[in-house]
A and B are shown apart, each in its own frame.
Chain A
C-alpha cells in the first residue's frame, strides 16, 4: 500500500519548531498573538499525525523510512539523518501532538497573567518539537540528540519561574540526574556502534543484526542494560527517580506535558524502540522487569504519605512508569505500550485538573483544600474520571491496560504479579485519599474557589472522554491493537481471575480511602499514630534524597576542594618553587656582574685556572 501521508511525517515536528523560532525571535512583541501561533502550529501537527495514524490503521503497512541526509562523516563514522514511521511511531505521534495541543490550549488560560507567557509557549513548542523528533528518529544517534533536547526543555520549563530558589534547584536536579542516565545510553550507543556490522546505527540495521545474531550475547546484554540506564533516568525509575517529583516546581501544564507525553514517556519509548536488543537478552529483560516492578510499588507507597497534590500525582507517575517497564520486561510489549497510551490521557487529565484546583485555591497542600466538588463541577467530574482510570476501575481505560499487564505477569511471573497487585491497592488508596481530601468535606475557612475558564475546562473534558474510552482499543475481547502494533495475531483469553482480583483490590483501596478521608469513620492517624517511623519513612521518601546528598553531592564538593588545595599548593607550589630557584640563580648572576673590575679579573683568573686544569687533566686520561 502506498503511503500518502507517512512521507510527510517530517512536517509534524516542523510546525512546533517554526513556532519556537518565531516566538524566540519576536518573543515579547507578539503577546497574545504568539499564543495563537503556538496553538495553530500544534493543531496542524496533530491533524497530520492523525492522518498518518488513520492511514496506518487502514492496512498492513510497511514501515516508511527516509534516510538520505548525510549529516556527518568522519573516519569510520558516517551517519545519515532521516525519519521513520512505524505503527508504534504513528501511535506516539498522535499521543504527543494531542497532549501537547491540549496543554497549549489549557496554558492559554492558566498562564494568562504571566508576562513571560510567550517565552513559556516557545519552550513548550521546543519541547514538543524535540519529543516529536525523537519519535520519528531513524537512528540511535538522532534519537539521542532529541533525547537530550527533551531533557533540556524540561529543564527550562521546570525552571521557568527562575527566581524561585526551589525551581532553580529542581531544574538543576532534573537535568543532572537524567544526565546520569544519559551517560549510560551514550556508552551503550558507542558500544553498539563498534559491534554493529558496518557500524550502522539505524534501527532497521539494528533489527537485522539482532535477528541474525551478529553481536555476541554478553555484549547485547551489556548494551541493553546501558540503554536501560538511560531509560531509568528519563522515566524516573528507581534509583534515578528523585528528580521527577521535584520537577513539580514548574508550571502545572508542564507537569502534565512531562508526565504524560514527553519527557518520561521517552524512556519507555526508548525501550520499546530498541526492543529487539532487549528481547535478545533474557538477563536484560529480567533487569527491566524487576526495576519496573520495584519502582511501581516503591513509588506507590511514597505516594500514600505525601500532602502536596502534585507530588502525589508525580509519585503515581513514577509508579505507573514502573508498570510499563515491568510489562516490557516480561515480554508484554503491547501491554506496556498500551499502558503508556492510556496513562498519557488520564495523567494529563489529572495534572491539568490539579492545575485547575491550584488555580482556584492557591495552595498545593491537600489538607488545606476541601469541598471543591460544589464549586468546581467540571473539574470534579473530570478529575474523578481520571482518578478512577488511574485506580484501575472497570471500565475506565486504566483498568484495561493495567489488567493487560497483570494478566501477562500472572503467567510465569508470580512475584511480579503480586507486587503489581499490591501497588494497585496503594494506587487506589492514595487517589481516593487525594480525591476526598480535595473535593469532599468542608472548605477551609475563608477559601473562595470558582470554576476555571473555558480554555482550561475544555481540555479537561476532552481528556476525560479519552480517559474513559481509550481502553477499548485493547481489551481481552477486542485485542486489535496488539495485532496492529506487533504484526502478530494476539489471542489473549480474558483472564477473569486477574480481572476480578484487580477490581477487588481497586475497590478496597478506594474504600479504605473513603472511610479514612471521606466518611472519616477510621481516624486519619490510624496507622501513622501507631507507627510514626513508618509515616516518616514514607513522607521523607525513604531518605533517598538525603542519601544522595551525602554520598554524591557533598563528596564531590569535598573532592573538588581537596583538588583545589592540591592545585594551589602542590602543582602551582612546585612551579613557584622552581621560579624562585631560577630567580636565585639569576641573582647569583647579577651579583657576579657587580661592576667591580677586580672581581671580574678574579673570576677570569679562576676560569682560566679551571680551563688549564681541565686541559692538563685531559692529556692524562
Chain B
C-alpha cells in the first residue's frame, strides 16, 4: 500500500492542510488555533513513522523511496546554436527522495516539529500567524531533507529562512528583532554563496546532450542524480572533457573550479552548521528566539547545514573533501573545544546550550571528516541525537522561564526541591548531552571518534578530550539550576503540566531508545552508507592510480 501512495509529497505538504484550515479560523480563537496547529503536525509525524517502519523492513541495498515529476522546463533558444540541435532547455525536477540519510532526519523533523508545536502553548500572542508560519517552516524543513534537485532544495531552504526570520523577530524576547536580522543577514549570505555554487554546478555538471531522433537534445539539469551520473559514472560527459585551443568547452569543471565550489559549499553550509568562526549569529538566536522556535532551530535547522554539507559538499566533491579532510577535522576539534570552553563560563543557561551546540556540531564535523562509513554514520547519529537533546533542552528552558522569569544561572538554584519532575528531566537531558552511554549522545560520539581514529589518531584524541569538558560545563549548569540551596525566589512553582510533560517524556523516550538500541537508526543508515563506501573506494582507486 505504501508503494502506491505519494508518501514523500504527503509528508512534506501535509502541514498545508493546517495552514488552509487556520486561514478560516478567527484569530481570537486561541484555543482552536493551538489545537489545529498541534494536530496538523501529527499528520506528518504519523506518516513518517509509518514510512520509517516500512523502511526498516526493506533489506535491498541502496533502497530508497523516490517521487519524480516534471516541474520546471525553461526552453532556451535552440536555433541560436545551429540546425543540428533540436532542443535546449533548463530542466528542474520535482524530485523527492528518502534514503537512509534523509529519512531519519525527516522523522526527526516530524517529531521535533510536533513537540515544538506542543511547546508553542507557551506562545502568548498572535497565535494564528504564528502557527501558519510554523507549519510553513515545517514544510520547508521536510523539503530540504527530501529534495534532490538543486533548485527545489534551494527553494525549500529559503522557505525555512524566511519563516524562521519572522518567528524569531515577532515572538522572541526583547532583542529579538536584532537577532532575527542577524540571522537573516548571515544565512542570506550563506544562501547566496550556495546559489552561486549551485548555478555553476547546474551549468557544468548538470549539462547533458543526447542524440534524439531529430538531432541533439541539450539540457541543463538540477537533478542530483543526473549531476552525479555525469560526475562519476559517465566518463564521456562534457564536464570531464578538457578544453583545448581547438574546442572551447564551457562545461568543463577544472580542478580549481571544483575546489572553489567545494569551499563555497563548505562556507554556505558551514554558516548553518555552524562552523567556527561563523557561529555568532546563532548565539543571538538561542538567546532571543522563543523556546519553541529554538527547539526547531537548534534541533533541525542546524542539521540542515550538516546534511547539505554531506549531500552536496562531500558526495559531489569527494576528492576535494578528501583533500580537506584534515581541515574539516581541525575545524571540528576547534568547534568542540572552543564551544566547550565557552559553555563553561557563560552566565546564561541559554548561552551555555548555544555553545554546547557548537561543541556538539564539532563532533558531526569530525565524523564527516573521517570520510569513512563509520564516521559518517556517527555524524548522522550525532545529528539526530543532538536534534532530540537540544529540542528537549529548550523545551525545559521554556518551562523554566515560564516559572522563574529568568535563565541567568546565578539567579537559579535548588529547583530539584520545587519542581522535581522538570529537574529530573533536565538531569537526563544533561547526561545525554555529555554523552552518557545508554542515551543517544554516546553512540554518535563513539562512532564519530571511532571513524576519525582510523585516519587521524592525533586529531581524534584531542577531540576526545572535549568529552571531559562536556561533563564539566553540563554539570556546572545543570547542578547550578537544580542542586544546592534554594533561594527564596525559587519557591512555590508548579511542576510540569501535562502539555509540558508529554513532549518531555516523548523526547526522553527517543533519546533512551537510540542509546539502548541504536540499530533502529543504523539499519537505514547502513543501506545508504554502503553506496557511499563504494564511491569513496572508487575514488581512492582513482587517486591512488
Contact = CB atoms under 8 A, between A and B. Distances in A.
Given A76-B372, A575-B280, A194 B467 contact: no
Interface string A548-586: 000000001101110110010001101100010000000
Contacts, number: 140
B378 A74 contact: yes
Contacts of B525: 74
Interface string B443-485: 1001101110110010011001101110110011001001111
B514 to A, nearest CB: 10
Nearest to B533: A75
16 contacts: A72-B519, A73-B522, A74-B373, A74-B525, A74-B529, A75-B533, A76-B374, A163-B485, A175-B475, A183-B465, A191-B457, A193-B450, A556-B341, A567-B280, A575-B280, A579-B185
Chain B: interface secondary structure? helix
A246 to B, nearest CB: 14
Of B279, B374, B482, most buried by chain A (CB within 10 Å of CB) is: B374
A77 B447 contact: yes
A145 to B, nearest CB: 4
Of B522, B526, B529, most buried by chain A (CB within 10 Å of CB) is: B522
B172 interface: no
A149 B475 contact: no
A190 interface: yes
Given A71-B518, A159-B479, 9 more contacts: A73-B519, A148-B438, A175-B475, A180-B468, A183-B465, A186-B467, A193-B450, A556-B472, A557-B344
A560 B345 contact: yes
A567 B451 CA distance: 30
B134 to A, nearest CB: 28
A165 interface: yes
Interface in A154-171: 159, 162-163, 165, 167-168, 171
Nearest to A151: B436
Contact of B522 (A74, A190, A194, A559): A74
A561 B345 contact: yes
B104 interface: no
Interface of B: 185-186, 276-277, 279-281, 338, 341-342, 344-346, 372-378, 381, 414, 416-417, 431, 436-438, 442-443, 446-447, 449-451, 453-454, 457, 460-461, 464-465, 467-469, 471-472, 475-476, 479, 482-486, 517-519, 522-523, 525-526, 529, 533
A74 B447 contact: yes
A75 B437 contact: no
Contacts of A44: none
B27 to A, nearest CB: 35
Chain A: interface secondary structure? helix
A152 interface: yes
A122 to B, nearest CB: 11
A168 B344 contact: no
A58 B445 CA distance: 44
A190 B484 CA distance: 37
Interface of A: 70-77, 141, 144-146, 148-149, 152, 159, 162-163, 165, 167-168, 171-172, 175-176, 179-180, 183, 186-187, 190-191, 193-194, 556-557, 559-561, 563-564, 567, 571-572, 574-575, 579
Contacts of B523: 73
B374 A572 contact: no
Contacts of A575: 186, 280-281
B461 A572 contact: no
A584 to B, nearest CB: 15
B437 A145 contact: yes
A96 to B, nearest CB: 19
A201 to B, nearest CB: 11
